[in-house]
Amino acid sequence: MSAKIYVPRDAAALSVGADAVARAFADQIASRRLDATLVRNGSRGMFWLEPLVEVETPRGRIAYGPVSADSVPSLLEAGFLEGKPHQLCLGPTEEIPFLKKQERLTFARCGITDPLSLSDYMSHGGYRGLERALKLTPETIVEEVVNSGLRGRGGAGFPTGIKWRTVLQTSADQKYIVCNADEGDSGTYADRMIMEGDPFVLIEGMTIAGLAVDATSGFIYLRSEYPHAFRTLRRAISVAYDKGYLGPSVAGSGKRFDLDVRMGAGAYICGEETSLLESLEGKRGQIRFKPPLPAIKGLFGKPTVVNNVISLATVPIILDKGAAYHRDFGMGKSRGTLTIQLAGNVKRGGLVEKAFGLSLREAIYDFGGGTASGRPLRAVQVGGPLGAYFPASLLDTPLDYEAFAEKKGMLGHGGIVVFDDTVDLARQARFAMEFCAVESCGKCTPCRMGSTRGVEVIDKIIANEDRQQNMVLLDDLCEVLTDGSLCALGGLIPTPVQSAIRHFPEDFDKPAPAAPLQGTPRSQETQSWR
């Protein structure tokens, strides 16, 4: 039987030479006349081991990594095709502790199957959720999602089933399903990984959403920085059309669902659902006033479900295994699994899918192995650029929406960025404010003007210019941003700033630096065109 070799096609693996590794295997297979085939799979999400190459053996899949093109001949000589030892051999893939300790529901197939093979998808449980959904009424599908406890994974954690119920109960001649694949949070990549590694699960989830709310058309709004995901989605959608899983009669049911991908406009604010809808309609990505909610008046003024990639990609397993199966994972009101993305100064960066409730410490140390630098951990930012900076003393906080809110933090999209003791939190606070100034959509004054003034005030604090007065001014400014901003970009930017001040006051009380701040001209630049 022909040996199967898996070399990932995921962007993270490509960035460290996976294509060259695949070419080296192809050349060696040809020149040595080996009976072997290459599969370009998704990533298993262990980035420090990429390119992680696997071979199928009677003992299961055996992993090797990180593999370079140069190491391919020596691997083959050592008996790679039989899974024999080599200095890069990691043993059976499923036994690698980072993977073994996970609970992969949404990512069950990612890295295992060929992302563009529908038969691979089906033989690993794919389209079973849709099959069941087609036998249910829209109301029953919605109730199943409500009962599963699924909350939106895009950041706000709003119950997905409740949103769907609103769209279902709003009558209209046309409704839409929009997938938010803008994935702008720092240190996040779960959406990208699933779109590149298991695109059919998103297509299936969106199709089920269409059946549930009576929507016949869907769009994936994809961030412009994801060209590989764009190509993979396009090809997977075309396969789904060819095989009758999209189009006028989904799986022969007589029910229509059409799907297309649109490239984003390259702005963080286009990830906010109303800006996203503006951008999808071909306009400038700017916030819309709410109400009306997109569920009532969304894309082209029609009732629209807007959900994150992971929310939608989790729906097939809920429909397949039932609401209780999903609800049984997690803690408190956070049900199911969280796709944690470890990034920053961490030894083992990668994707961890685990039931809500493990602590930040377990995520960073048991999975991540601590800091990459080996220096003491000093701060962690969870939930993207609007998330709080937590000190080491908060590492026992469980990863749970409510537990994080209690500590004035948020889980967001599950991104965890680790910093060691060389970080300067005053500069991180400045970075947060500057991020807001650069990414502000400009619609409301507190954010448009306030963030630019905020950078200037933090610069003065760092330079020790009237420090006490400027600290008071910064506090006032944060209050105005929180209370007066039209959307959560301006409204939440005080979170990283104030958490840095609260937990790391010593960084705001240091002698002025001898050299001017790096990046300072940016605020002057923004000032001139505002």
Q: Are 440 and 489 in contact (CB under 8 A)?
A: yes
Q: What residues from 253 to 292 belong to the interface with ligand SF4 (CB under 6 A)?
A: 269, 287
Nearer to ligand FMN, 138 or 491 (CB): 491
> Going by DSSP bridges, is the β-strand pair 377-382/389-391 parallel, antiparallel, or unpaired?
antiparallel
Nearer to ligand SF4, 192 or 448 (CB): 448
| Radius of gyration over every alpha carbon of the chain, rounded to an integer in angstroms | 24
Helices vs strands, H then E, count in the chain = 22, 16
Using the CB atoms, write b or e for 119-141: b if 16+ within 10 Å.
Answer: ebbeebebbbbbebbbebebeeb
Nearer to ligand FMN, 126 or 271 (CB): 271
- Rounded to an integer, what distance in angstroms lies between the CA atom of residue 64 and that of residue 86? 8
Q: Using CB under 6 A, which of the segments 62-70, 291-299, 443-451, 470-478 binds ligand SF4?
A: 443-451
Element (DSSP H or E) covering residue 82: none
230 interacts with, out of ligand FMN, ligand SF4, none, CB within 5 to 8 A per kind: none
Smallest gap, in angstroms, from Cβ of residue 65 to ligand FMN? 30
- Rounded to an integer, what distance in angstroms lies between the CA atom of residue 53 and that of residue 66? 8
Question: Residue 96, exposed/middle/buried by CB under 10 A (0-12, 13-18, 19+)?
Answer: middle
> Going by DSSP bridges, is the β-strand pair 176-181/217-222 parallel, antiparallel, or unpaired?
parallel
Nearer to ligand SF4, 99 or 487 (CB): 487
Nearer to ligand SF4, 301 or 442 (CB): 442
Element (DSSP H or E) covering residue 79: none
Smallest gap, in angstroms, from Cβ of residue 322 to ligand SF4? 39
- Rounded to an integer, what distance in angstroms lies between the CA atom of residue 417 and that of residue 419? 7
Quick count: other Cβ atoms within 10 Å of Cβ 293?
A: 17
Smallest gap, in angstroms, from Cβ of residue 256 to ligand FMN? 23
Residues binding ligand FMN (CB under 6 A): 152-156, 158, 160, 180, 182-184, 268-269, 271-273, 306-308, 311, 487-489
Q: Which of 227, 248, 266, 442 binds ligand SF4 (CB under 6 A)?
A: 442
Nearest to 217 by CA among 202, 207, 205: 207
List the beta strands (DSSP E) in 227-376: 258-263, 304-308, 330-331, 334-335, 337-344, 350-355
Q: How far is CA 130 from the centre of its chain?
A: 24
Nearer to ligand FMN, 115 or 157 (CB): 157
Smallest gap, in angstroms, from Cβ of residue 449 to ligand SF4? 9
Q: Which of 177, 229, 444, 474 binds ligand SF4 (CB under 6 A)?
A: 444
447 interacts with, out of ligand FMN, ligand SF4, none, CB within 5 to 8 A per kind: ligand SF4
155 interacts with, out of ligand FMN, ligand SF4, none, CB within 5 to 8 A per kind: ligand FMN
- Rounded to an integer, what distance in angstroms lies between the CA atom of residue 479 and that of residue 458? 15
Smallest gap, in angstroms, from Cβ of residue 273 to ligand SF4? 12
Question: What is the DSSP code (8-state) at residue 359?
Answer: B
145 interacts with, out of ligand SF4, ligand FMN, none, CB within 5 to 8 A per kind: none
Question: What is the DSSP code (8-state) at residue 293?
Answer: P
Smallest gap, in angstroms, from Cβ of residue 353 to ligand FMN? 16
Q: Which of 403, 416, 426, 441 binds ligand SF4 (CB under 6 A)?
A: 441
Task: Name the residue number minimizing CB distance to ligand FMN.
Answer: 152
Residue with tokens 């998330």: 387
Contacts with ligand SF4 by CB under 6 A: the residue count is 14
Nearer to ligand FMN, 192 or 453 (CB): 192
485 interacts with, out of ligand SF4, ligand FMN, none, CB within 5 to 8 A per kind: ligand SF4
Which x/- pattern, by CB under 6 A, does the window 471-510 give for ligand SF4? --------------xxx-xx--------------------
Nearer to ligand SF4, 183 or 198 (CB): 183
* Alpha carbon distances (Å) from 32 to 2, 25, 28, 29, 61: 14, 10, 6, 5, 22
152 interacts with, out of ligand FMN, ligand SF4, none, CB within 5 to 8 A per kind: ligand FMN
Smallest gap, in angstroms, from Cβ of residue 417 to ligand SF4? 22
**Mapped to the 3 state alphabet, what secondary structure does 417-485 carry?**
EEEECCCCHHHHHHHHHHHHHHHCCCCCHHHHHHHHHHHHHHHHHHCCCCHHHHHHHHHHHHHHHHHHC
- Residue spans of alpha helices (H) in 184-226: 190-197, 199-213
Nearer to ligand SF4, 275 or 499 (CB): 275
448 interacts with, out of ligand FMN, ligand SF4, none, CB within 5 to 8 A per kind: ligand SF4
183 interacts with, out of ligand FMN, ligand SF4, none, CB within 5 to 8 A per kind: ligand FMN
Tell me which amino acid residue 184 is: G
Smallest gap, in angstroms, from Cβ of residue 401 to ligand SF4? 22
Nearer to ligand SF4, 274 or 371 (CB): 274
490 interacts with, out of ligand SF4, ligand FMN, none, CB within 5 to 8 A per kind: ligand SF4
Q: Is residue 443 a contact point for ligand SF4 (CB under 6 A)?
A: yes
Residues found near ligand SF4 in the complex (CB under 6 A): 269, 287, 440-444, 447-448, 485-487, 489-490
